[in-house]
Structure 1
Amino acid sequence: MLIAIADCQIEDVAPDMTVEFRPLRPKGLQAFITADRKVAEFVFFDGEIYQTDKSTKIVSSMFGAAVRQYKGIDNKCLYENYDVVLEVGMIIQYRVYIPNVFHDLNVKNEQATLSFNTVISDYSTFDITELFDRLPFPSPGHFCKETVTKVVGKQVCAGDVIFEDNFDTFRTDLWQIEQYIPTDHPENPFVSYQSLTADPNVFVRNGSLHIVPKLQEDFLEINQSIETGSLDLGDGCTRRQCSKTAFGPDILPPIVSGQVTSLPFAFTYGIVTIRAKLPRGDWLYPEFLLEPLTKKYVGDKELASVLKIIEIITSIQFIRNSNACYESRDDLIRRIMRDEHWREEFHEYELRWTPDEIELIMDNDLYLRSTMRTLKQCLKDFGFVPSFNEYRQLSFSVAAGGTVEFPDSIVTDAGYVKPWRNTDAKASLKFWRNKDEWLPTWTAPSLEIDYVKVVAL
C-alpha cells in the first residue's frame, strides 16, 4: 500500500511522541509509542529496515496503525509486525504521525493508495543491538489463545473484542464520513454520499448513530435542479467520483445519504454484531458491509466480494436464485419482510465470518449459511472468484432504489408497482419523477445503530 501524506498548515506542530522498540526473536517487531491521550487514540507507524546503513538495500518496509488498546501499558499505542526477520546490526528508519482528515483510499492497477493530512515529522533511526522475547499479550500472565482473526497493526487473541463503539459520541478516530458519488457501485443506488453540515445527515443522538437520507434538490442552488444541474463535492471527496453534471436521462443522484467507514480498523475473520433499527420507507434499504480494505468497486462482479451483514431482500448478490449455493430460513425472511412492525424496533444482526463459512443471524436466529467452497463455486459460474480472506473495513449506509436490489416485479405495501426497470437507462429519472408515491412512505427514513462490536474467533 502506498501512503500519500500532505502537510498541514505551518502553524500546526507535531505532538511529542517517543518510541520504544523491541526487535524480536526469531522474527517480529513491537513498537510502543507514547502519545498524549488527548491527542489521539491511534497513530501511524512508517518504517524501513536496512541491512547495515541507509546507503544499503532496504530489507523490508513497514506501515500500520498503532492502537491504544494494549492493556497494562498506560498511555501507549502498540504497533506490531510479526512477519519481519530482524538481526543485530540492522537499522530501522522510522517516523510516527497522527492523521487528521482522511481523503481517499484509491486503487489503481491493484495498488492501493491511502491519502490524509498530517503534520510530518523527520525520520529517526534505531540501531538493533539486541533481540528480545515477545512481550506477553495483553498483559503479563494473560493466556492468549491463538486465533485466525487478524487485525491491521496489532496482534489479537481468541475472544478479544477487537472493535467496539456504543455511539455515546461520534468518534472521528474510529469513523470516516464518506463523500462521493457511487457511480461505480454495481448496485447503482440512486444516491450521493455526503456529510451535510447545515442539516446533518450523519450524527449521534441519544446513544445511537443516525444516518438519514434526504432529497438532493433541497441542497442545490436556487437555479439548479436534479435533471439539469451539477454536483461537486470538492476537496471533501473521499473516493473516485467527486462530481457529476446531469445530462438527458442521466440525472443527478436524487437522494443525498450518509455512509461511514471504519478507518483505520480493518480485520480478517471474526464475529460482527450490530444492534440497529432499520429505515422505513419505500425503496430504502440499509447496507451493513465488510468492504475489502484495498479494493472497492472495480466492476459489476466485484460486489460479490463484499460481505453483507444483513441482506433481507435478496440474500446474497448474484446467487439469490440458486438455493444450492446456500442454506436459508425462507420462513424467517418472509416473516420479517411481512411484519409491518419489524422496522419499528431495534434488532440484533450478526455476521459470523470464518475461513470455512459465513453465517447471517438475526436476534439469535440463523437465517442464512454458506460454505466458502460452495460460495466460490457458485460465483465461478459468473466468471469471478473473489477472495474472502483479505482485510475488510466496516461500512454502514442507507441507500435508495438502484438497479439490483429490487426485482422489477415487486409491489409496495400500498399497492404501487415499481416505477422503473433495472435495465432501463432512465431508471433513476423514473424513480425521481415517482416521488409523490414513495416520499410520503418515508415516515422514519433514518438508520439508527445502537452499537457495533467485532470479536475475534
Structure 2
Amino acid sequence: MRAAKRLHTEKLLLLFFLCRSIVVIFSYKLPAALVEPLANGFRVSIPDDRGIKSVAFNVNRNRNFTDFEEGEFSAQVREPEDGRWQHDFERAALRAHDTLYIWTNVQHGNVIYRDKSLPQPVCQLSGKNLPTECSMSPYQHQNRETTTVKNDEVYKGSTSKSLSCAEQSETVMSPPPSQPLCKGQLIFEEEFENLNESRWLHDVRAPLDSTDAEFVLYDGKARVQGGQLIIEPRLWSSYRPDLHITNAHLDLSDRCTGTHNRQKECVLLTSGPLIMPPVVVPRLSTKESFGFKYGRVDIRARLPKGDWLIPLLLLEPLMESYGQTGYESGQLRVAMARGNDQLRLPHGKLIDGRTLFAGAVLSTEASQREDFMVQQRRSVHFGDDFHVYSLIWSSQSLRFSIDGQEYGELLTGFAESDLNPSWRRGGPMAPFDRMFYITLGLSVGGFGDFVDKLRTSSFEKPWINKHPQAKLQFWRSQEQWLPTWKQPKLLVDYVRVYLMIIVTYLTEDAAKKHISSNILVGIIVQMWIASHICHADLPVVAYKELFSDQFKPQKKYIYIYKNTSNNNSTHLLIFYFIFKMQFKCLLYLMGCFFALMYAFEKNDIEVIVKGKEVEINVHDDPELKTFFFSTDIGEECTSDYKFVHNHNANNTFVYKIDINKELRKDDTLSIFGIFETTDKVISKTYDLIIDESGRGVKQDIPQRSDCIKSETVVNFKEQPCSQVLVFKDDFDDQSLSGWTYEIRSRVLDPVPDQEFVAYMKNTKLNNGLLYLYANWVNDTHFHIAEGCTSKHNGDINKLMRQCGPLKLKGGVSIPPVHSAKLHSSFTFKYGRVEIRARLPIGDWLFPYLLLQPANTQSEDNYVNHLRIVYARGNKRLQDKNSLPIGGDVLFGSAVLWSQDGAREHMTIKRNLYNKQFGDKFHIYTLIWHKDRIIFKVDGLKYGTITHPDVLRTFDLNECFLVLGLTAGGGLNFPHDYLMPEQVKFMNGAVKATELFTEQAVRESWIQPNLVIDYVHVYTTHVNEE
C-alpha cells in the first residue's frame, strides 16, 4: 500500500515538474529587437527575462535574410546590462536610406528561440543620433521607394539650397534631399580630382555565384591620376607573392565586405583543382553613400583592351527586394565591350571589343546574358578612345546612348520573361523600379560573359564554363592571354547622374499629354523646313528668369511658357526667333503654327483697312490681359510679332500697322493671335478677306494654326497638312471594295520568286477583322477557270504555269497550299502607314505587308518593294551563322532587284521574351520620308533605312499597299541563308514542291492566318519620327 502511495506521489511530482517546464517553455515569447542610433553606429537590444542565458543578434543593411544565417553585423551577448541584453555595433554608421533586417537568437533555459524582426527603416527609428538627412528631409516619413523627390545641386554631402520648381522629376535619390529640387539637375558628380573614400566603398570579397563567377578577387584600391580613376588588374603572384596560387589559405574576414555568404566570400582555401583567383582587381561603389531610382547616368570612360577583360560600369540594387540569388533583383550595365581584339562565336559572329553592349542582366547563364541587351558594332575597338556612355532610366524604358547618339531601348515587361515570379508584384519596370547604386570595376574571364567554344584570332577559349578546373585552365593558359593585355586598365573620367526629365523637347502629341495649365501652356512650332528653305539666320532670345544658363534652346522650336509668379499673377514668357526673310517664309511659318490649348470661340477682333493702314481692335473683355499677334497680308507681311499689353481709353486693345501695299476689296489678310486671360492662354488664326467697306470678313477655309506642312503625295496631289488620315480600312463591313485580289499560282515561277502557294480568295471578314488564311490541299489538278490575274497573256506556257490547267504528273507541281493576296487601289508617296495585325504561326508561313511601286503590277516578278514588317512563322529557325530568324525576330526591309539578283536592306528587332510576334496583335508602322524610312512596332522605333539606293528607288513613284500570306519562297527563305540542317527542300529543284509537302510539319500550323484589324495611312512631315 505504501509502495503504491509512494509511486502515486512520484507520478504527481513528475507531472508537476513536467507541467512547470511546459509553462516555463511556453510562457516566453521572444520580443522584437529595439534599435537605437548611436553617434557612430547603432545599438540592438531586447529586455531581460528570468531564464535567458545568452543572446545573439544578426543584422543586415538593405538585405533581407533568406535563412537564420550570419548577418553583415553579428554579436553574442553573455550578460544583461541595466535590464537589457544589448550590443553596440560601432563603426557602422547608419544612412538615411538604410533599412535594417534583424534576427535574434535567445537561449532561454535549455531552449533556443529564433525570430526575425520586421524591417526597420533608419529614418523611422527613435533617438537623437539619426542621420542628418532624416531630420532635414520633408520626405523622411514617406516610403522612399515610391516618393518623388528632386535635387538642384550636385550631391557632395552638403545641404541643398531651397529652390521652388514648377515641374517635378520622377527620380528618387538617397540620401534624400532637404528641399525639392528641379528636374534635369545634376544630383551626383564625380570628377575624380581625388579619391573620396567617404563616397566610394571598395569591395573586398570573392565572387559568390558558382554559375557566374569571374576569375578574380575583388581587393585593392583604385587610384586617381590626372583627374581620372584608374582600375587596373594584377596577377595573384603580384598580390600575394608569399602564397602560391595552388596551395594557400586566405582569410579576409576582418575587412571583407561580403554580405551574402561570408564564409565563401571572405575565406579562400585551395583544394585539388580549386586554386586562388588568378587576377585581383579593385571594385568600388556608392553603396554606402548614394543611390537613386530613375535618372540619366553619364560615364565618360576608356574601356580596357586585352583578352577576357570585361569593364563593369554598373547599377546594382540597393535593396535586393526581389531576391538575393543570381540576378533576381537585376543589374544594369551602362556599357560593356569585351576586351578581346578579336572574338568569334562558334558560328562566326564577332563579339569582340568592337561590339558595344548595354542593358539588363537577369540571368547567370552565359547563353542568356545578352537576351535583354542592346548592341552597336563599330569598325574600331571601343577601348581605343574615351566615350561618354549614357543610360536614361525611367519608369517606362531604358535608353542607351554613346557620345549622345542613342543606339537602343528596352521597354517595360521584364516580368513576362518568367525568370522571377516576384517581378509580377512590382511595377511595370520591375525589377528596375527600386533604388540602385553605382559600381565601377573590372572582371576577368568567368562563366557569365563568355559562352563556350569562343575563338580569338589564335586560340580557342581555354576553359569550359562550370567545369571544376575552369579557373585552373584559365591560369595555365596565361601565356596566351597575358601578352594581349597591352591596355588592361579601365579609365573613368567622370560619373554624373541627372534627375529624370519627364518632358524635354515636346512634340505636339507629347505636349498634349504632358502640358498642364499651371506649368506650361505652349505653342511649339517646328521650323526646320522654313529655316532650310529660306536659309535664314535664326538667333534665339531667351529669358533667364525661367531657365538656368545651362538651358540651350534649339533653333527648331518656338517656346511659349506660362509661369506662375509668387503673387500668383500669370505672365507670358515668349522665346521667339528674330529673323529677316521673305514674306513667303513667314507666311509658311504662320501656316504651320499650331495651337495646343483652346480655340477662341467668339468673334473677338475687328479689322478695318484704310489704304495702307490696318487697324486691329480686340473687343472689350475684362479677363483679357495681353494680346500677341502677327499678320500675313497678301504676298507681304509684317516683319515681326507684336506684343500689345496696354489698353486704350476705351479699355480695349487697338493696334495700327502701316504696310507697303494698299489693300483693296477681295485681298486676303491673315492674323495669328495669342490672348492671355486671367486663367488661360488662347490662340487662334483669323483668315480674312477684305470686303467693300474695308473690313476683314472671315473666310470659310481651314485654320492654318492646326497645320504642319506635309511631304505626302496622294494620287499625284501634294497634301497640304501632315497628320491627316488619307486612307482608312477598319474592315467593319463585308466589302473589300478598295482592294483587288491576286489570283494565280506561284509554284512554277522562277527562283527566287517561286512560292508553294496558289493565291485564291482565301479571305473572310469577321467582327471587324480581315482574315487571310492558308490551307493545305490535295488536288491532282489545278485550273483557274475565271479571274486569273496573271499578266503573261502573250506567253501561253507562262500563263498555264500560273493559271492552269495543270496535272500532277511528270514533274509538274500542283500548288499544295491555297492562300490570299490583295493590293489596294489607293496609292501615295511619303507618309505613315499603321497596320494592326496578328502574324501567322506555322513552319514556312510568311506574311506580306508591303508597299509596291504603282508603275508595277502586283503579279510582276522581280519587283522592288518595301516590307513594312514580317516575322517568319517558324517557332525556331536559324540562319547559317546560327542567328535566330524565327517567329520571335521581327524584320522591316527594302528589297531591290538588279542583274545580280535581289538585295535586301533589313532592320531587325528580336522579341526579348522569346515569344513569337504572332502570339498577339501588334501595331506595325512604317514612316516613309524622302531621306529615311523608319520602322516601328507598338510605337517603338527599331530601325531606319537611309541607304541612297533605297531612297532613290522609291522616290520615283507612288506605292500601293499589298496584304498577303504565302508559304515558302526563295526570297523569303533563301536556301543559302538558312542553316542547312533546318531545310531539306531546295528552292527551284524539280521536286521542290513535293519535298516541301512531305517535310513541312503541318502540326506546327497552329495559326495559319494573317489577321488584320485595320490599315491606316497618314500624311507626314519631315520631322516625324
| TM, length-normalised to structure 1 | 0.66
User: Aligned partner of 1:371: which letter?
Assistant: L
Indicate the residue corresponding to 1:426 in structure 2.
469
Report Cα offsets for 1:260-281 as digits up to 9, x if no partner: 1113111111000000001111
Work out the CA distance in 2 between the residues paired with 1:227 and 1:143.
61
What corresponds to 1:61 in structure 2? Answer: 125
Aligned residue for 1:226, secondary structure, equals: coil
Residue number among 170, 173, 190 corresponding to 1:165 in the alignment: 190
Aligned counterparts of 2:187 and 2:465: Cα–Cα separation in 1: 39
Which amino acid is the alignment partner of residue 141 of structure 2? V
Q: Which residue of 2 aligns with 1:399?
A: 443
C-alpha contact (below 8 Å) 2:334/2:389 kept by paired residues: yes
Q: What is the number of residues matched between the two proteins?
A: 338
Alpha-carbon distance between aligned partners in 2 of 1:168 and 1:227, rounded to the nearest angstrom: 40
| Per-residue CA distance 1:85-137 (angstroms, 9 max, x = gap) | 9xxxxxxxxxxxxxxxxxxxxxxxxxxxxxxxxxxxxxxxxxxxxxxxxxx97
Alpha-carbon distance between aligned partners in 1 of 2:318 and 2:269, rounded to the nearest angstrom: 29
**Counterparts in 2 of 1:205 and 1:389: CA distance versus 1, 3 Å:** same
Tell me how far apart the structure 2 counterparts of residues 327 and 231 of structure 1 sit (CA, whole Å): 37
In the TM superposition, residue 178 of structure 1 has moved relative to its aligned partner by 1.4
Match of 2:274 among 231, 250, 257: 250
Q: Tell me, yes or no, if the aligned pair for 1:271 and 1:456 is still in contact at 8 Å.
A: yes
Give the distance between the partners of 2:295 and 2:276, measured in 1 at CA: 38
CA 1:259–1:6: 2 relative to 1, 3 Å: farther
CA contact (8 A) 2:361 2:372 kept: no
SS, match of residue 350 in structure 1: strand
Match for 1:270 among 276, 291, 295? 295
Q: Any stretches of 5+ residues in structure 1 without a counterpart? A: 9-41, 48-58, 68-76, 86-135, 196-200
Aligned amino acid, residue 339 of structure 1: V
Equivalent position of 1:146 in the other structure: 168
Q: 1:181 aligns with which of 186, 194, 206?
A: 206
3-state DSSP of counterpart to 1:158: coil
CA contact (8 A) 1:79 1:153 kept: no
- State the match for 2:397 in structure 1: 357
Using the alignment, how far apart are the partners of 2:236 and 2:173 within structure 1? Answer: 37
CA distance change for structure 1 residues 185 and 79 in 2, over 3 Å: closer, same or farther? farther
Higher relative contact order (CA 8 A, sep 6+): 1
The residue number in structure 1 matching 2:684 is: none
Q: CA deviation at 1:451?
A: 0.3
Map 1:22-421 → 2, pairs under 5 A: 60-61=124-125, 66=132, 79-82=136-139, 84=141, 138-139=161-162, 142-155=164-177, 156-184=181-209, 187-195=212-220, 201-222=221-242, 224-239=243-258, 240=262, 241-262=265-286, 263-295=288-320, 298-302=324-328, 305-312=330-337, 315=358, 316-317=360-361, 328=374, 330=375, 332=376, 334-335=377-378, 339-340=380-381, 342-373=382-413, 375-378=414-417, 380-381=418-419, 385=423, 387-412=431-456, 414-421=457-464
Larger radius of gyration: 2
1:21 aligned residue: none
Matches of 1:189 and 1:81, distance apart in 2 = 43
How far 1:157 sits from its partner (Å)? 3.0
Contact 1:361 1:368 in 2 (8 A): yes
| One-letter identity of the residue aligned with 2:380 | D
Contact 2:191 2:227 in 1 (8 A): yes
Per-residue CA deviation, residues 52-105 of structure 1 (Å, 9 max, x unaligned), is xxxxxxx943797546xxxxxxxxx973142539xxxxxxxxxxxxxxxxxxxx
Supply the distance in 2 between the matched residues of 1:446 and 1:367 (Cα, whole angstroms). 25
- Partners of 2:212 and 2:274 lie apart in 1 by 16
* Distance in 2 between residues matched to 1:253 and 1:176, nearest whole Å: 21
Provide closer, same or farther for how the CA distance between residues 389 and 382 of structure 1 changes in structure 2, counting only shifts above 3 A. Answer: closer
Task: Give the conservation status (yes or no) of the 8 Å contact 1:325–1:370.
Answer: no
Deviation at 1:234, TM superposition (A): 4.0
Cα distance between partner residues in 1 of 2:473 and 2:480: 12
| Contact 1:301-1:384 at 8 Å conserved across structures | no
Residue by residue, what CA displacement relative to the aligned partner does 1:196-237 show, whole Å, maximum 9, x if unpaired?
xxxxx5100000000111001222243x21111122224221
The residue identity in structure 1 corresponding to 2:272 is G
Tell me, yes or no, if the aligned pair for 1:80 and 1:153 is still in contact at 8 Å: no
Deviation at 1:300, TM superposition (A): 2.8
| Alignment CA distance shift 1:238-1:325 (3 Å) | closer
Assess if the C-alpha contact under 8 Å between 1:211 and 1:397 holds in 2. yes
CA contact (8 A) 1:65 1:153 kept: no
Alpha-carbon distance change, 305 to 185 in structure 1, aligned in 2, over 3 angstroms: farther
Query: How far apart, in 2, do the equivalents of 1:323 and 1:225 lie?
Result: 33
CA distance in 1, matches of 2:170, 2:485: 42
Contact map agreement 1:65 1:79 (CA 8 A) in 2:
no
Offset at 1:359? Answer: 1.4
Deviations 1:406-439 (A, max 9, x none): 1213212x32110111132211111111111101
State the Cα RMSD in Å. Answer: 3.6
CA distance in 2, matches of 1:185, 1:407: 15
**Partner residue, 2:980:** none
| Contact 2:191 2:228 survives alignment (8 Å) | yes
- Give SS of 2:416's match: helix
Report the CA distance between 1:46 and its aligned residue: 11
Per the TM alignment, residue 161 of structure 1 is displaced from its structure 2 partner at its CA by 0.9
Rounded Cα–Cα distance in structure 2 between residues aligned with 1:171 and 1:327: 32
- Find the aligned partners of 1:357 and 1:6 in 2 and give their Cα distance: 41
Contact 1:289 1:306 in 2 (8 A): yes
Retained in 2: the 8 A contact 1:64–1:152?
no
Letter in 2 for 1:202: A
Q: Cα distance, 1:382 vs. partner?
A: 6.1
What CA distance in whole angstroms lies between the structure 1 residues aligned with 2:280 and 2:411? 36
* 1:301 to partner: Cα distance: 4.1
Q: Distance in 2 between matches of 1:231 and 1:311?
A: 31
* 358 and 44 in structure 1: CA distance in 2 versus 1, 3 angstrom threshold: closer
In structure 1, distance between residues paired with 2:97 and 2:182: 24
The aligned amino acid for 2:415 is: K
1:254 positional shift: 0.9
1:300 is paired with a residue of what secondary structure?
coil
Counterpart Cα distance in 2 of 1:449 and 1:168: 11
Following superposition, the deviation at residue 371 of structure 1 comes to 0.8
Cα distance change, pair 65–166 in 1 and its aligned pair in 2 (3 A) = farther
Q: Cα offset for 1:164?
A: 0.3
Q: Distance in 2 between matches of 1:435 and 1:428?
A: 11
Are the structure 2 counterparts of residues 382 and 388 from structure 1 closer, same or farther at C-alpha, using a change threshold of 3 Å? Answer: closer
Cα 1:46–1:189 change in 2 (3 A) is: closer
| Distance change in 2, residues 1:301/1:395 (3 Å) | closer
The one-letter code of the counterpart of 2:319 is T
